[in-house]
């Protein structure tokens, strides 16, 4: 496994990319700069959902964190695999058995071997650091959050029947382009003691999921076509330790608005400048998807 850095761009139009439950489900925002934010957890959820659909949520690409899942019941499968009953909150005393329990989870669940997981609940399967991590997505410019009044022709309670309809609110971002930075740590992928056995096949599935993350994520808050992956720029290092620092590669990718006299409302309003292979430092290979 090589080390990788990547820059991921996606946009949103007339939709709510990631509502903040602490702020009435308004789109997340940096209060000091006005930049829009989308959490890494939100993006990982979309990757998980795509992989589950793509592979029917079957081994070796099952998804550990799924809606309605009882995690302790999932952990019990690992103990059944090694033919041992779990002790309350404890891993097996035999170190080899303990590793086998955790390895079972990594082998069968894509998101565990990709992003890692804390599985030390009542039925303990250990903790795993995943080789793939991503930053929060941040909009390349400050966003405007639009709030819309909507009506519902039904009422909730009998006492409200005379009202005939009730009012609600819906929040959207007119347009924003978001940027994410990501990293693949090879030492957490194939290390014989700590690695998750994240493979090149898993890596290709990750790229595929990022490129299709919004294709099956439609909802009332995110209608079809309102969010789209726009660019995936991948830097592959020749050395496992990396040939250059991550930030020096990220700084080579710039996003600028073409016309500052009017608000951006489409991806074509921006110019994305990515380096060519000829501009790459020795030992770094560039791949641009989308």
Residue 151's pLDDT band, with cuts at 50, 70 and 90, is confident
Mean pLDDT of 173-185: 98
| Least confidently predicted of 28-37, 157-166, 183-192 | 157-166
Tell whether the model's pLDDT for residue 162 goes beyond 80: no
Report the pLDDT value the prediction gives residue 164, as an integer from 0 to 100.
66
| φ, ψ (nearest 5 deg) of residue 23 | -130, 40
Report the pLDDT value the prediction gives residue 263, as an integer from 0 to 100.
95
Pairing of strands 166-184, 4-15: antiparallel
Residue 2 three-state SS = coil
Residue 83's pLDDT band, with cuts at 50, 70 and 90, is very high
Residue 13's pLDDT band, with cuts at 50, 70 and 90, is very high
Percent of the chain with pLDDT over 70: 99
Instruction: Return the number of other C-beta atoms located less than 10 Å from residue 188's C-beta.
Output: 20
Tell whether the model's pLDDT for residue 192 goes beyond 90: no
Question: Count of alpha carbons within 13 Å of 11, Cβ hemisphere only?
Answer: 20
Structure tokens at 224: 């079809």
CA atoms of 14 and 56, how far apart (whole Å): 31
| Least confidently predicted of 80-89, 161-170, 222-231 | 161-170
CA atoms of 98 and 51, how far apart (whole Å): 28
Mean pLDDT of 178-205: 93
If we measure between CA atoms, which residue out of 218, 223, 249, 230 comes closest to residue 176?
230
CA atoms of 188 and 135, how far apart (whole Å): 18
- pTM value is 0.93
């Amino acid at each position: 496994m090589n080390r990788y850095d990547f820059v991921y761009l996606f946009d949103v139009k007339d939709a709510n990319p990631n509502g903040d439950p602490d702020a009435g489900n308004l789109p997340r925002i940096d209060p000091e700069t006005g930049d829009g934010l989308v959490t890494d957890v939100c993006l990982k959820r979309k990757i998980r959902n795509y992989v589950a659909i793509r592979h029917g949520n079957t081994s070796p690409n099952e998804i550990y964190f799924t809606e309605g899942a009882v995690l302790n019941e999932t952990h019990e499968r690992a103990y059944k695999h090694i033919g041992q009953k779990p002790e309350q909150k404890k891993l097996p005393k035999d170190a080899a058995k303990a590793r086998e329990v955790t390895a079972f989870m990594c082998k069968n669940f894509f998101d565990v071997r990709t992003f890692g997981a804390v599985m030390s609940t009542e039925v303990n399967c250990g903790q795993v650091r995943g080789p793939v991590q991503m930053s929060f997505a941040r909009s390349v410019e400050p966003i405007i959050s639009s709030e819309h009044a909507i009506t519902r022709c039904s009422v909730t309670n009998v006492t409200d029947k005379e009202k005939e309809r009730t009012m609600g609110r819906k929040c959207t971002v007119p347009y924003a382009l978001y940027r994410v930075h990501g990293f693949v740590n090879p030492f957490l992928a194939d290390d014989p003691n700590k690695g998750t056995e994240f493979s090149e096949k898993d890596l290709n599935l990750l790229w595929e999921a990022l490129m299709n993350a919004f294709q099956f994520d439609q909802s009332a808050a995110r209608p079809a076509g309102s969010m789209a992956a726009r660019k995936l720029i991948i830097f592959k290092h020749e050395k496992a330790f990396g040939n250059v620092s991550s930030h020096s590669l990220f700084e080579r990718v710039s996003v600028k608005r073409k016309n500052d006299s009017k608000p951006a409302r489409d991806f074509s309003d921006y110019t994305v400048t990515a380096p060519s292979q000829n501009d790459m430092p020795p030992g770094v290979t560039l791949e641009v998807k989308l």
